[in-house]
Structure 1
């Protein structure tokens, strides 16, 4: 803690604030945010991973369009307007004429073309969001076209739902628009500026990256040339503070404005404070119990069905998941097109035992259950371990880091796993289904690690066909009906992944902080003010 206080004071000096003896109140025009930066390995939009990095990029890069933080509708950003062609195979974007990068260079359609080409050429994590929609680097010249300085045309490589493509482009990473001139001025050995972009920014957003010290802090400074309304906060200091209790203490003392990595016990304790506000909003994805269908036991539908009745959904929802998630049993996010109500599964030991007996496991069996060694995963897995045992399934817990637990899943070398995932960043059912159910090639050699259907060795050709047909259906009412039918079919065939909770994002902040968006995929600090 002593080290952290010292580095906060150092951070205050670096961003031009006058450090107070006790740091009892943050500066009026500067936002101090505590979060976890362990997953922030680069700030190159093409190479980033994780929602924490997207949250940083949201403030320094613009996208063509954005998702509204209130209803997730598609809104203008760099593009003032756009038109979808009658055949739904192209989208024409009309760019703002007043937009400039932090360098002072104008934002042009050529920058958009270059940014998207660079994304596919680098072929790193973020390119997968376009590659799964058929985009490829060798076709980039025909797919990305600058008609003039302010008109960009996106040609779709295959039949798709244009609204979903727009949602992908709204996400920083795949949709980030870079200052091509500035990046190329800093290119080395043909790296397309990758080395420079690790620690520098070339965006047109409301802030520019001033300094980043890995696993310590990130400093963002207001971009005075920003095309939109000037942010109230002149600077943002983001601190790496992974310990929940430390975040809580700093928040109570007034040394930070926002805390993003608080655990449930500390959030509960803060609920009584009139100086702190806590907000939970819908997040992205699900907490789930997954099985490997490479295991002959879990390949049997009756065994998978038994597992449905060996999760205490309501107990988890009340005792483990507050601030983390809310009860959900379907594989499509609540509120998106075609989303059905939950089927109403409940813990039923007798029913689960009967199903296991039908599958040939009257006395149960031994297995392993992998889980991240952090909350709420550990508590959820322990609870599921206990209910599994009541039906005779003895599950040994294997705990570890994300690389260890999800790494085993990506290698298809696991039995049971409690995890989190399933899309949802784009509020469209196809985003969930591609993540959880779709699997175009179930061979080991395919290595389709982005698909959790592949990770769990789940393959159903009919379901693949249904997902594809729903995506390209042009009649909205028919499309909604197709997604409803998909959920009914998925329930009948018993999927390899059973959600038990839908992710919510929770953050705590000083009561005078206004305009915060909690969801890190959508949050931008440009709207934040302090009511002092």
Structure 2
């Protein structure tokens, strides 16, 4: 902590002790934001190569996208594109760009920059390209798929029938959707790398901030972009500190040295909730905590056994005692904030009903099994609770712990029995994002190795369900499409899927109560609207 306090005054970000409501405690400057988070996964600042929500959280402030997602409603909103039209056949989208946008370099932003950015993404074929390539976009066809019709009109043509709204949601995210200053990037190419070396440590965006300095696993400094097309942010600078220890973040918040903490553990969040000068906020995020079974195991291939497991999870107990700050009760396979999401079916712990179902399946005395789980606290505590309720019906589950590679590795190899995990899509607020992870499985063979599909990992396959998912995606009528997604959820309930959610993921942050405009979810977080009452 002494090292943190000594180094927080980096460059112009001098944090001085200032008397105020906190008395003798330190207080960050009124026009500068100090943020603490874990940046272990921040490996580059090149939008084409980033991974993880932490880097998205940084680059949301540096780069603009054609559209954005409203942080509260997750509705598509204009960003660089003032408006757009979806073609009647749903095969193209025409975007009309703002005419008052310049990059931080002073270069004007045009449709050519948009086309260049998306073509670069496919040509480099790094981490952020996968979402587009999985939907048929291809570097060899990019000139036809991404077209600058004129200086302020960009046309995106879909390579195959799809839902253009979902493609727009994909492009709303920093990384794959970041629009680069093509002139600046090309001026800084090295040996045909399309600016990759330059963008590792530099920015070429039009966002509210520019990348001033980044030191891996130490800090990121963002400086207000005076050329920003929107309202000037109140924060002149943002210092994002790598502070992976929860207790260090808590102490920094309590002493006034930190404005926002994004990586706090439950005990410290509970402590901070008692502090009137600190606000603790949780918001829904992508995916679920779930209990998964392997259909390769003949016991779990029986729908009666899977149905019994539905009634051997203490949904209220787990979510009330273990999941605060991490999740809220959810039993449907579609995130609650997504259109067409149905309310929960109302499963509850019912040991007698589970015993009856097990008896019907031929297991009146239960059986022995294994339950895999990563050793992170909320996962392990949830698995322990499930182990206890399984035992009440005669299912003796041996818990096997390990790190993510070991536990999810076994799932990817389809070599497990029961598993408590987290996942299920949802990065885009569209049912297909969840269903591609939780229900879709186009090829159930071991050789297919469709490890990105969690349903493949569990060896669950239903051809009719696949067809329903494919048809709903390309339905152009919004009302009909919503009805189709509702029907899919009811079908999944009838099938008794191999993955049963018990909690919808939430993300939590703590911040000074005089700081306003904080967006907690890293996928939609921006600092341009943050203000302080000081």
TM-score interval for Structure 1 and Structure 2 normalised by the shorter chain? over 0.9
Report the CA distance between 1:42 and its aligned residue. 2.2
Range moving further from structure 2, 411-420 or 283-292: 411-420
Number of the residue aligned with 2:133:
131
Contact 2:370 2:418 in 1 (8 A): yes
Alignment partner of 1:129: what SS?
A: helix
The 5 A counterparts of 1:207-226 are 207-226=209-228
Alignment partner of 1:506: what SS?
A: strand
- Show structure 1 runs of 5+ residues with no match: none
Q: 1:490-521: CA deviations, max 9, x gaps?
A: 01111111100111221110011011111111
The 5 A counterparts of 1:434-449 are 434-449=436-451
Contact 2:16 2:29 in 1 (8 A): no
The 5 A counterparts of 1:169-248 are 169-248=171-250
Cα 1:140–1:343 change in 2 (3 A) is same
Cα 1:187–1:283 change in 2 (3 A) is same
Range moving further from structure 2, 195-204 or 507-516: 195-204
Number of the residue aligned with 1:525:
527
Cα 1:447–1:57 change in 2 (3 A) is farther
Alignment partner of 1:278: what SS?
A: strand
Number of the residue aligned with 2:352:
350
Number of the residue aligned with 2:21:
none
Q: 1:358-392: CA deviations, max 9, x gaps?
A: 33333333333222222321211111121122222
Report the CA distance between 1:122 and its aligned residue. 2.4
Alignment partner of 1:256: what SS?
A: coil
Report the CA distance between 1:23 and its aligned residue. 7.2
Contact 1:13 1:19 in 2 (8 A): no
Range moving further from structure 2, 358-367 or 308-317: 358-367
Cα 1:240–1:404 change in 2 (3 A) is farther
Give the Cα–Cα distance (whole angstroms) in 2 for the partners of residues 8 and 146 of structure 1. Answer: 49
Cα 1:367–1:195 change in 2 (3 A) is farther
Q: 1:230-282: CA deviations, max 9, x gaps?
A: 11111111112222222111111111000111222222222221111111222
Query: Would you say 1:10 and 2:7 are equivalent positions?
Result: yes
Report the CA distance between 1:295 and its aligned residue. 2.8
Number of the residue aligned with 2:363:
361
Give the Cα–Cα distance (whole angstroms) in 2 for the partners of residues 252 and 493 of structure 1. Answer: 50
Report the CA distance between 1:214 and its aligned residue. 1.7
Which of residues 390, 403, 419 in structure 2 aligns to 1:401? 403
Give the Cα–Cα distance (whole angstroms) in 1 for the partners of residues 197 and 408 of structure 2. Answer: 28
Query: Would you say 1:304 and 2:344 are equivalent positions?
Result: no
Q: Report how many aligned residue pairs link the two structures.
A: 529
Number of the residue aligned with 2:473:
471
Cα 1:403–1:182 change in 2 (3 A) is farther
Range moving further from structure 2, 234-243 or 19-28: 19-28
- Show structure 2 runs of 5+ residues with no match: 19-23
The 5 A counterparts of 1:93-132 are 93-132=95-134
Number of the residue aligned with 1:72:
74
Q: 1:264-323: CA deviations, max 9, x gaps?
A: 222222222111111122222111111222333322222221211111001112111112
The 5 A counterparts of 1:490-505 are 490-505=492-507
Query: Would you say 1:391 and 2:393 are equivalent positions?
Result: yes
Contact 2:15 2:257 in 1 (8 A): no
Contact 2:293 2:458 in 1 (8 A): yes
Report the CA distance between 1:18 and its aligned residue. 5.1
Cα RMSD, aligned residues only:
1.8
Give the Cα–Cα distance (whole angstroms) in 2 for the partners of residues 18 and 517 of structure 1. Answer: 23
Report the CA distance between 1:19 and its aligned residue. 4.7
Alignment partner of 1:526: what SS?
A: coil
Report the CA distance between 1:324 and its aligned residue. 1.5
Give the Cα–Cα distance (whole angstroms) in 1 for the partners of residues 341 and 481 of structure 2. Answer: 12
Cα 1:308–1:68 change in 2 (3 A) is same
Number of the residue aligned with 2:36:
34
Give the Cα–Cα distance (whole angstroms) in 2 for the partners of residues 221 and 407 of structure 1. Answer: 41
Give the Cα–Cα distance (whole angstroms) in 1 for the partners of residues 112 and 519 of structure 2. Answer: 31
Number of the residue aligned with 1:156:
158
Range moving further from structure 2, 271-280 or 333-342: 333-342
